[in-house]
Every structure is written in C-alpha cells, then in structure tokens.
Amino acid sequence: MVFSFRQPRWVAATSFVGALFLLPTLGMAQSSELDALRAAVKGMQQDLQKALSRIEQLEKEKTVDSAKLGQVEKSVQAVRSSPSAFNPAIGFVLDTTAEHRAKAGGDFNFRAAELGLSASVDPFARMYSFFTGSKDGFEVEEAAAITTSLPWNLTAKGGRFFADFGRLSKFHPHEYAFVNTPLSIERMVGGESRADGVELNYLFPTPFFLRATFGGYNKMGAENERLDDTKSRAWSRFTYLGRLQSYFDLTDNHSFELGSSLAYTPSLRLTDTFGSDRSLAGVDLTYRFQPVGSTLYQGLTWGSEIFLNSERRPLELEDGTIAGRRREAWGGYSYAELRLNRSWSTGFLFDYAPSIDSPSLKTKGYSPFLTWNVSEFNRLRFQYSYLDDKVREEKADRGHQFFLQWTTIMGAHTHGFRGR
C-alpha cells in the first residue's frame, strides 16, 4: 500500500526530470531548422541575382542583335525595292518622226534611241543612266548617283543629270505630251537642263509636299554654249541653282503643282573685252483634274512656265566695235492635254519664244496635237504647228509644220507621277 501511494509522485518527478533534459534538445533542433531556412533563402537570393544579371545581359545582346537585324532588314528592303535585285533594270526607247516644214522641207527624223539602266547600289544609294544615240552622234545623257539614307530629310545627287530647273526642261523629249521641245525652252534654258554637278534636296516636314533644291554645276543646258563644260575655271564661273517646289490637293479631283527656280552664273566671258553675270528665273504651274470615279487614263492636265533671262549680250556698234548691253527677255509656254480614255488624248500648245539678243523679236507657236496610245509601249502622235516667227534665226522655226511621231519602248521604262 505504501508503494501505491507514492507511485504518482515518482512518475511526475520522472517526467519533470525528462523534460528538463529534452527542452534543450528541442531548442537546438528549432535553431538548426531556422538556420537552414535562412541559408536556403540566401541561396535563393543569390540565384535570383544571377538570374537578373543574366536577363540584363540577354537584353543587351537582344538590343545589339536587333540593331544588326534592322541593318539586314534595311538591306533586304533596299534590294527588294530596286528594279532588279542584282541586275539593273534595262529599258530602250526609240523615238522617230516623219515631218514636213513649209520653209525647210520634209524629213524622216531619227530623233533618238535611248538606253536606260537603273538599280539600287546598297541601302545608301541608287544609280541610273541614259545613253542616247541620234543622227548627231552618241552621248551619255545622264549618269548619276542618288543617296537614299541621309538624315534630316536630305537627298544628294551627283554626276550628270537634268538640273532641277522648271518642269519640262527636266523631261526627255519623248516624255512630252506633244512632239517638240518648246522654242522658249530651247532659247532660254538651252534645251534639256542637263548639267554636270551636284544637287541637295530638302523635304520640309509640312502636311503638304514642299521641297527645296540647291545645286552647283559646270553649266546648265545641253545647248548652252556660254561656257565650256570640259575646262576648269574659277568658281565664279559656275552656275548655282535654287528651287522651291510644292504640291497640294484642292479636292479629291483637283490638284496643283507650283514651283519657282533661279539659276545664277556670277561671271561669263562673252568676248575678250567684257563679261557679264547671268540670271535665269522661272515659275511653273501645273493643274491636274483627275476624276475619282474614273480611271487614271481620263482627266485634264494644264501646264505653264514663264522664264526671265537677264544678262549682257554682245552688240556691234556702227564703228564695228563690240559692246555689251544688258538684255532682259521674257518667254514661256502653256499647254493643255485632255485624256479621253486609255488610248486617246488630245491637246494644244502655245509657245512664246523671244530672241535673247533682241527681246522685242519673238516667235509664237500654235500646236494642236492628237495622241493614240496603241499600248503601254507603243504610241503614235500627230501634231500640226504654225510658227509666227519674227526672229528669223532658223528657217525650220517658221511657217506651217506637220509631224507624225512614233515612239516605242522595250523593257523597263516608267516616269511615274510626271506622266500624269
């Protein structure tokens, strides 16, 4: 009985002593688990930092790769946008006329056979050239390189090309809506505005098209004989050009193209005893009516240009000596072309061409014309002209004249917006 009475106390004491020994052990176990958790969290933080560093490195590599990819895509786009990826686009134009001039007689006129080449060079430039053969010989009419990737809306051109003066003087004769180059352009510009030199264009960031052109050339005008295109000279004897051109839509059917040009040559040597500066100014206006509900083959185009030439010209006095007198000559042309359908168009050209030496003497031309586009590559045009000539420089520049023009195209040949 004594033993039974003391047994609970013995059990309690034993439990108390056991707890005293077990509590430190449990505390040590919890402390070890906490340290393990801390170490695991620290390891995860280190792994996260490594992952973030790797992500940052990959982002940098991606940026570099994107830049390289952009350059590759730009090269691919340049190649795709070229007329031909690795072989130049080639076109050939034959332009001939059968003509009769009352004061000069008849002629089968081999006007020109023109070979054109064009292609992109790389993402930064493209090139084009035109080689022309005619009864007067063979020549490089144009051969120029044009930049395609300059910043600030700039484009540069260098080589031999048609200077950006006026409108029609930049066209090849077979591109006209009529047969012949207006006499006002022949006498005042010197025919096509061909020039050896450089040009810089700037496209203004305006809601409508506005472009400025600045150029420097040996001379301007294929038939301009005031300067020798093959000789070196002082920079004051070069020709410098400025032009401002704009295009805007009045409505969906009506649009205007307006331009002003100034070509200035500071010094010309006209004789052994005197020289002169020369300025040639021009204003050109083109109106187009293109019905939205119609096709591109119907509509009306009206184009006009006015020129003012100012320079000293040689004048023979009564005693036989040569003196210089400043002459200012006004001239220009105006034409309208009505496109009836895909095949037929008709129009009228008025030309007002003064003499540079005697501006009071002028040649006035009146020319109705009719065009039949047999296809996109084959065209016939009939034109009648009457020239009221007071200048009397060339017999071919007066009286009644009749022309039948045949123009054929082979290969790639397009003039884009200028053909509208």
Which CATH superfamily hosts domain 90-419? Porin (2.40.160.10)
What percent of the chain is modeled with pLDDT above 90? 57
Say how far apart CA 295 and CA 307 lie, in whole Å: 34
Please, are residues 133 and 185 in contact by the beta-carbon 8 Å criterion?
Answer: no
**Exposed/middle/buried for residue 70 (C-beta within 10 Å: 0-12, 13-18, 19+):** exposed
Q: How far is CA 261 from each of CA 170, 221, 238, 314, 378, rounded to the nearest angstrom?
A: 12, 14, 17, 26, 34
pLDDT 10s digits, 205-233: 999 999 999 999 999 998 988 888 888 88
Q: Taking the domains of the chain in order of start, what are their residue ranges?
A: 1-81, 90-419
pLDDT at 58 over 90: no
Choose the weakest-confidence range: 7-21, 81-95, 294-308. Answer: 7-21
| Average pLDDT of span 239-253 | 94
| pTM score above 0.85 | no
pLDDT at 44: 81
pLDDT at 261 over 70: yes
Q: Which residue carries 């496109």 as its tokens?
A: 339
pLDDT 10s digits, 370-380: 999 999 899 99
pLDDT 10s digits, 131-141: 999 888 899 99
The mean predicted confidence, pLDDT, of the chain is 85
pLDDT at 416: 47
pLDDT at 252: 87
pLDDT at 214: 98
Rounded to a whole number, what is the distance in angstroms from the first to the last CA of the chain?
131
pLDDT at 414 over 80: no
What φ, ψ does residue 380 adopt, rounded to 5°?
-120, 140
